[in-house]
Amino acid sequence: MDYRAFFESANDAIYFIGPGDRIFDCNPRTMEMYGCTRGQIIGKTPYDFSPPFQPDGRDSRSKALHVIKAAFDGEIRSFEWRHCTYDGSPFDTEVSLTKIGSGEDAVIQAIVRDVTQRKQAEEALRRANRTLFDIIEFLPDATVVIDKEKRVIAWNRAMEEMTGVKKEDIVGKGDHAYAIPFYGESRPLLMELVETMDDEIQARYDFVKREGNRVVAETRVPALYEGRGAYLRGVASPLFDSEGHVIGAIEAIRDITERKEAERRLRESEIKYRTLVDNANVAILIMRGDTFVDCNKRAAAIFRCSRDEIIGEAVHRFYPADLPDKHSSTERISQRINAVLAGDPQFFEAKVCRYDGTPFDAELNLSRIELEGECLIQTIIRDITYRKETERILETKSLNLEEVNTALRVLLQERARDKDELEEKIVRNVKELVLPYIDTLKQRYVDNTQLVYLEIVETNLKNIVSPFMQKMTTIYPNLTPTEIKVANLIRDGKTVKEIANIFGISVSSINSHRQHIRNKLGLANKKTNLKTYLLSLTK
């Protein structure tokens, strides 16, 4: 293919800049990209098709003059540029400027590629990432995220409050810098166990459990809170890309020092335990088997009764009597009690009831303890009624949003029907209000040239209401606008010479277009008649 053919059929806009920074030639893609005719482009400058200012705030004209001068000085310039169409609509592009020739004959070849869709996709990805990081930022648990190279990429507000380290001082750092606020030295954290259970790392934790891809662990860290230390519970999970490759890890950390301290004191002394639990903000109860033998003030407050009314009662007493699966729930409680006595702590949510039978949502934590040599069960209960109600409200809002989306889909369907009706009306008007007058004009006295152009107008209007043009552009999108015009005239029975006269070009150029059309239609090595094949596309 010669350069001119490449120039005409290129998918990128190509134009030439001469003296005075004026455009003196352009290809069809340039006209399509800027939404105007060749005559509206020739003689203009590139900054005539630019907004007043570029995204970086610089004046478009002065910036364009600078890069054009650099290109004339021999520098190959490639850069991003905000253009606008002839009607002023902005779009993003990548531009490459190359000097051709030398001296007074030198010109600049500009190749412009529309990257609007790519920019929009990048912006959508940035917005999604901002949303994700905003969610992480306001998580109640201290949260850190690292990339595949173990560099910190997120350090939320709760983590700042826990460690005293600001995100701007830690984000981007690697070499286990995120461990220093906890241990006073660089060392692996729980996140290192999400890909492999390293025995050396695992040995540094008091408790480690793998739940699918998640790793849950508990340990005491010495450097936290200005050296006072704390007992933490961490949950770490790997992060995957869309293809399932690990691209990092996330760890949420909760300070459970208060809970661990309560457990330690309970093991040391029942008297100390009483002092602690009576001032706890959670309900703490002690069970022997399935019977309560002690509880704190908060437990009495949650169940809305006295301490004496709780002690001696079985745990099943505090499950709602009207639950349809009460019997099966009782069996599950017995199973949990047996698991705790076997050394497996239980943490779960359940519907329980107050002393008067009123049900409420609770979070329960059951663990085995020893007091004076006796194996008992410690039960910690949190009233999560408010949280559950909030979740129900969010679910209701989600359902309402789905209803709104359904209504929106209905509106879009109505809009599509309106569009179809409009297209049908346009086709009917062309057939009934335009084509008859063209036929009348053809019957009046006109010279041959006028008759040819009338026939072309008539043919093109018929193409609007026929499937030919739609099929050509849909089935063969690689055909250039010129090739589609030539194909249309061939289909109408015009000879190569007649087509050449219409376009004002040589017969050899038309023959070249015919060959390109045959190649793109898959007829290069076939004896199929091109006109016959094109006529078949209208059926």
* Per-residue pLDDT reduced to its tens digit, 232-259: 888 888 888 777 888 888 888 898 888 8
Give the type of residue at 102. Answer: S
Put the strands of the sheet holding 291-295 in their side by side order.
291-295, 283-288, 374-383, 359-371, 346-353
**Of 248-252, 365-369, 465-469, which one has max mean pLDDT?**
365-369
Do 218 and 267 belong to one domain?
A: no
Do 216 and 305 belong to one domain?
A: no
For residue 402, what pLDDT is reported? Answer: 83
In a domain, 234, yes or no: yes
* Pairwise pLDDT comparison (472 vs 98), residue with the higher score: 98
The whole-chain average pLDDT of the chain stands at 82
Do 247 and 153 belong to one domain?
A: yes
Do 279 and 299 belong to one domain?
A: yes
Q: Which helix (H) or strand (E) holds 441?
A: helix 435-443
In a domain, 448, yes or no: no
Do 128 and 225 belong to one domain?
A: yes
For residue 28, what pLDDT is reported? Answer: 93
Confidence band of 105 (pLDDT split at 50, 70, 90): confident
- Stretch 119-140: mean pLDDT: 74
Do 226 and 312 belong to one domain?
A: no
Task: Please say if the pLDDT value at position 52 is more than 80.
Answer: yes
For residue 16, what pLDDT is reported? Answer: 94
In a domain, 406, yes or no: no
**H helix and E strand count, the chain:** 21, 16
Instruction: List the domain range (segments joined by +) for residue 240.
Output: 122-255
Count of domains forming the chain? 4
Query: Tokens 């009764």 correspond to what residue?
Result: 305
Confidence band of 538 (pLDDT split at 50, 70, 90): low
Which among 226, 234, 281, 227 has a CA at the least distance from the CA of 259? 281
For residue 432, what pLDDT is reported? Answer: 64
The domain boundary, picked from 383, 410, 432, lies at 383
* Pairwise pLDDT comparison (14 vs 189), residue with the higher score: 14
- Stretch 204-229: mean pLDDT: 82
Cα–Cα distance, 10 to 503 (Å, whole number): 20
Here the CATH number for the domain that contains residue 165 is 3.30.450.20
Do 287 and 239 belong to one domain?
A: no
- Stretch 65-89: mean pLDDT: 89
Residues facing 214 on adjacent strands: 211
Task: Please say if the pLDDT value at position 486 is more than 90.
Answer: no
In a domain, 428, yes or no: no
Q: Quick one: angle between helices 435-443 and 448-464, nearest 10?
A: 160
The domain boundary, picked from 222, 255, 288, lies at 255
Range of weakest confidence among 69-83, 212-226, 419-433: 419-433
Sign of the C-alpha dihedral, residues 474, 476, 478, 479?
A: negative
Task: Please say if the pLDDT value at position 110 is more than 60.
Answer: yes
The domain boundary, picked from 229, 255, 281, lies at 255
For residue 236, what pLDDT is reported? Answer: 84
Do 219 and 163 belong to one domain?
A: yes
* Pairwise pLDDT comparison (259 vs 83), residue with the higher score: 83
Confidence band of 125 (pLDDT split at 50, 70, 90): low
- The number of beta carbons lying within 10 Å of the beta carbon of residue 295 is 23
Do 245 and 165 belong to one domain?
A: yes
Give the type of residue at 190. Answer: L
Query: Tokens 């004076």 correspond to what residue?
Result: 372
Cα–Cα distance, 272 to 56 (Å, whole number): 66
Do 228 and 126 belong to one domain?
A: yes
For residue 94, what pLDDT is reported? Answer: 93
Query: Tokens 């999604």 correspond to what residue?
Result: 128
Task: Please say if the pLDDT value at position 445 is more than 70.
Answer: no
- Residue pair 95/78 in contact (Cβ under 8 Å)? The answer is yes
In a domain, 434, yes or no: no
Do 104 and 141 belong to one domain?
A: no
Give the type of residue at 233. Answer: R
Residues 6+ apart with CB under 8 A from 112: 12, 13, 14, 15, 30, 33, 81, 83, 93, 94, 95
Query: Tokens 């729980």 correspond to what residue?
Result: 190
For residue 263, what pLDDT is reported? Answer: 78
In a domain, 233, yes or no: yes
For residue 51, what pLDDT is reported? Answer: 94
Do 308 and 375 belong to one domain?
A: yes
Query: Tokens 């606020």 correspond to what residue?
Result: 181
Cα–Cα distance, 237 to 153 (Å, whole number): 15
- Whether this model's pTM surpasses 0.85: no
In a domain, 323, yes or no: yes
Retrieve residue 304's tokens: 């809305």
Burial 150-182 (b: 16+ CB within 10 A, else e): bbbbbbbebbbebbeeebeebeebeebbbbbbb
For residue 39, what pLDDT is reported? Answer: 92
For residue 128, what pLDDT is reported? Answer: 64
For residue 431, what pLDDT is reported? Answer: 64
The string of pLDDT tens digits covering residues 271-329 is 665 666 677 788 898 999 889 999 998 989 999 999 999 999 988 888 776 555 555 66
Task: Please say if the pLDDT value at position 86 is more than 90.
Answer: yes
Cα–Cα distance, 93 to 96 (Å, whole number): 10
- The number of beta carbons lying within 10 Å of the beta carbon of residue 247 is 13
The string of pLDDT tens digits covering residues 112-121 is 999 988 888 7
Cα–Cα distance, 229 to 181 (Å, whole number): 10
Here the CATH number for the domain that contains residue 530 is 1.10.10
Retrieve residue 452's tokens: 């040819």
Cα–Cα distance, 461 to 434 (Å, whole number): 9
* Pairwise pLDDT comparison (43 vs 429), residue with the higher score: 43
In a domain, 451, yes or no: no
The string of pLDDT tens digits covering residues 6-51 is 788 888 999 999 988 899 999 999 999 999 999 999 999 999 999 9
